[in-house]
């Protein structure tokens, strides 16, 4: 492709991290592949990560899909993992299908990836049967995320809930804190470590370091979303220094 590939993201209004980490990964990819990318977002209102706000926010995703398809983006990512998972087990399939139909109806068909679906699909691609996860959510929401993943056939052996309710505070976390936080998890006999089961909690800077330290494949919701976007675009899903999934080894 010679033209610039347009990446669309549906993001919570208080989300900062996906508009940092997705471009960072794809800019890194530009150093080893010829494709070039531009980035475009539409926002759904959400300030606190509560079931009530998540449900109200998800209702706004259709409008965002219309707006992004007006720009004829080449792929669209729904960048809120827990909003999808809070709507019921398997909901990522329903959401992705509905939003894709909107792009078709609007005359600019685009594949749609959700961060929830991307994480599940990436774990399956990696052959991960048992994982441990870190999430910034309160314990009930973290448990909900674990149960959603387990309903897809992947056992969550252990998880850490950092219990940060304010979404801007989640975005303000230092990703390098995860280099110590992950050590509190049970990593015995797991197939993968999800260092951030949340697209708002920064983790990209720590992914490769933690993987090199612990010897287990490490990914995040953002890494999985990037991988699935590249797959849906028909591009090689490879980005340097982002862990096993984007190393072309999956």
Residues acting as catalytic residues: 80, 198
The answer to whether the CB of 18 falls within 8 A of the CB of 48 is: no
Rounded CA-CA distance 58/83 in Å is 6
Q: Listing from the earlier edge strand, what are the strands of the sheet with 75-78?
A: 37-44, 5-12, 75-78, 112-114
Closest C-alpha among 72, 82, 70, 69 to residue 161: 82
Pairwise CA distance, residues 248 & 250, whole Å: 6
DSSP 175-222: GGGHHHHGGGS--TT-SEEEEESSSSS--HHHHHHHHHHH-S-EEEHH
How far, CA to CA in Å, does 105 sit from each of 96, 97, 108, 243? 14, 12, 8, 37
Rounded Cα distance between 200 and 191, Å, is 24
């Amino acid at each position: 492709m010679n033209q610039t590939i347009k990446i669309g993201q549906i993001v919570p209004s208080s989300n900062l991290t996906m508009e940092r980490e997705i471009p960072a990964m794809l800019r890194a990819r530009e150093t080893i592949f010829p494709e070039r990318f531009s980035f475009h977002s539409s926002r759904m209102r959400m300030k606190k990560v509560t079931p009530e706000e998540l449900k109200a926010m998800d209702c706004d995703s259709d409008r965002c899909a219309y707006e992004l398809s007006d720009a004829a983006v080449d792929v669209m990512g729904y960048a809120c993992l827990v909003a999808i998972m809070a709507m019921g087990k398997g909901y990522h399939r329903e959401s992705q299908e509905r939003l894709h139909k909107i792009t078709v109806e609007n005359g600019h068909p685009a594949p749609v990836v959700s961060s929830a679906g991307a994480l599940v699909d990436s774990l399956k691609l990696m052959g991960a049967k048992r994982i441990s996860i870190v999430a910034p959510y309160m314990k009930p929401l973290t448990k909900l995320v674990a149960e959603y993943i387990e309903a897809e056939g992947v056992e969550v052996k252990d998880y850490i809930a950092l219990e940060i309710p304010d979404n801007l505070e989640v975005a303000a976390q230092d990703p390098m804190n995860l280099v110590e936080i992950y050590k509190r998890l049970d990593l015995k006999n797991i197939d993968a470590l999800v260092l951030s089961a949340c697209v708002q909690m920064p983790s990209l800077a720590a992914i490769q370091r933690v993987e090199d330290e612990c010897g287990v494949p490490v990914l995040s919701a953002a890494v999985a979303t990037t991988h699935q976007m590249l797959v849906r675009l028909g591009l090689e899903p490879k980005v340097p220094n982002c862990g096993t999934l984007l190393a072309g080894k999956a």
